[in-house]
Amino acid sequence: GNHLQHKKLLRSIDSILYAFK
C-alpha cells in the first residue's frame, strides 16, 4: 500500500518536472 502511494508521488513529481522542461 505504501509503495503504491510512493509511486504515485514520484509520478506527480515527474509530471511537474516535465511541465517545467
Three-class SS state of 20: helix
Q: In the predicted model, is pLDDT for residue 20 greater than 70? A: yes
Q: Binning pLDDT at 50, 70 and 90, where does residue 6 land?
A: confident
Mean pLDDT along residues 3-19: 90
* Intra-chain end-to-end CA distance of the chain, in Å: 31
Q: In the predicted model, is pLDDT for residue 8 greater than 80? A: yes
Mean pLDDT along residues 5-19: 92
Locate cell 508521488: which residue? Answer: 9
Mean pLDDT along residues 8-20: 93
Q: Is the pTM of this model over 0.85?
A: no
Mean pLDDT along residues 1-19: 87
